[in-house]
Amino acid sequence: MFFRGQTIGKYRIVSALGSGGFGSVYLAEDTWIDKKVALKVPHKQGLDFSELLKEPRLLASMSHPNIVTVLTAEKQDDIFFIVMEYVQGETLEEKILRDGALDVALALDLTCQICNAVDHAHRAGILHRDLRPGNMLVSDTGLLKVTDFGTSRFLEIAVHGTTIIGSPPYMAPEQFHGKAVFASDIYSIGVTMYQMLTGTLPYATPSPADLDRLMKGELVSSPRLRNPKVPKGIADIVLRALAPELTVRYSRPSEVLEDVLAARETVRRPGRAESGRDDHVADIQSRLRARDTPQPSFCWHCRKPLQARTAKCPFCGEIQ
């Protein structure tokens, strides 16, 4: 809809960033303040104006470092668009397609950021309904931001979403019946975790004939079968997030986050020495010293310094 070099209002189009089912996104420059921004242009421009304002209003109701920030919404030359912060980096989908299975520690770090974003949205009464790596931006510094709330809705009054919306490989079983609930987003997080840990989806896009098996959980196998490096504790978290029964599945992102934080303590960090007697002894000695002399640390999220053995960051409030 826009082309490079075009000026619309005070924005000059720099390049196209991508296109999805609900709109196209462009990198633009705010010529008034010399700042790069992202412009999202919905494909359906003929919708009622209040419907067009739905996504920016949802985004404006939230403020979280792991959710893309909406700056404003405008209509210029009869074209409606949303102005958002520009995140320099790539989508999580692009990263997985390029690198395949991610390092377990990195996958868990990104999972924590996803859970923080979704937990914030759920607390605001917002159900995303289309969580997937293609809707998650990873900055050059490793900060993840969830975006594309075009399919989201408030669940403060309704019991569940009644429209069949989402990307089939990431949709929970109940979504195929138009009964999306907050736990449906947890299922999507589980699929995303599986993909980060193995480089592949847990199953192909379900066909109508596969729905019964999906409801029974017969399409999902442990991520350890595809990547033996995945610890059993992490695999168990993924499988619980992918449970077809709502009574078995995690009900809140904070529950996933809590289990991931506990499990990742056992995951070997990148760059640490591999197995060997000397390394094992050195590791034990290091742990003993750490008990006697608490070491300063930094928040995994905002990178600000923390007091030793702090469980919660006093700056951004994230659990360590």
pLDDT of 246-301, one tens digit each?
999 999 999 999 999 999 877 755 554 444 445 545 554 544 444 444 444 667 66
Cα separation, 31 vs 36, in Å, equals 9
User: Are 130 and 224 part of one and the same domain?
Assistant: yes
How many helices (H) and strands (E) are present in the chain, helices listed first? 9, 13
User: Are 52 and 152 part of one and the same domain?
Assistant: no
Q: Residue 54's pLDDT is what? A: 85
User: Are 125 and 188 part of one and the same domain?
Assistant: yes
User: Are 206 and 148 part of one and the same domain?
Assistant: yes
Residue 183 belongs to some domain of the structure: yes
User: Are 149 and 187 part of one and the same domain?
Assistant: yes
Residue 100 belongs to some domain of the structure: yes
- Number of domains composing the chain: 3
Q: Residue 320's pLDDT is what? A: 67
Q: Residue 234's pLDDT is what? A: 96
Arithmetic mean of pLDDT, 48-54:
86
User: Are 78 and 167 part of one and the same domain?
Assistant: no
In the block, tokens 């592949």 appear at 200
User: Are 55 and 165 part of one and the same domain?
Assistant: no
Residue 3 belongs to some domain of the structure: no
Who contacts 56 (Cβ-Cβ below 8 Å, separation ≥6)? 70, 72, 73, 82
Other Cβ atoms less than 10 A from the Cβ of 123: the count is: 13
Arithmetic mean of pLDDT, 34-63:
88
Who contacts 60 (Cβ-Cβ below 8 Å, separation ≥6)? 70
Residue 132 belongs to some domain of the structure: yes
Arithmetic mean of pLDDT, 95-110:
96
Q: Of 85, 100, 126, which one is at a domain's C-terminal end?
A: 85
Q: Kindly list the catalytic residues.
A: 130
* CA dihedral of 181, 240, 177, 202, whole degrees rounded to 10: 130
Arithmetic mean of pLDDT, 45-62:
85
Decide the pairing of beta strands 70-76 and 35-42.
unpaired
Cα separation, 218 vs 230, in Å, equals 21
Residue 6 belongs to some domain of the structure: no
Q: Residue 295's pLDDT is what? A: 46
Strand partners of residue 24 = 19, 41
Range of the domain at 60: 13-85
pTM: 0.78
Extract the tokens encoding 53: 């304002």
Q: Residue 176's pLDDT is what? A: 86
> What is residue 20's three-state secondary structure?
coil
User: Are 79 and 99 part of one and the same domain?
Assistant: no
- pLDDT tens column, 113-136: 999 999 999 998 888 888 999 999
Cα separation, 100 vs 77, in Å, equals 43
Residue 29 belongs to some domain of the structure: yes
User: Are 283 and 259 part of one and the same domain?
Assistant: no
The more confident residue out of 285 and 51 is 51
User: Are 136 and 243 part of one and the same domain?
Assistant: yes
Residue 273 belongs to some domain of the structure: no
> What is residue 238's three-state secondary structure?
helix
Q: Residue 289's pLDDT is what? A: 46
Cα separation, 157 vs 128, in Å, equals 16
225 φ, ψ (degrees, to nearest 5) = -70, -25
User: Are 93 and 132 part of one and the same domain?
Assistant: yes
> What is residue 249's three-state secondary structure?
coil
Length in residues, the chain: 320
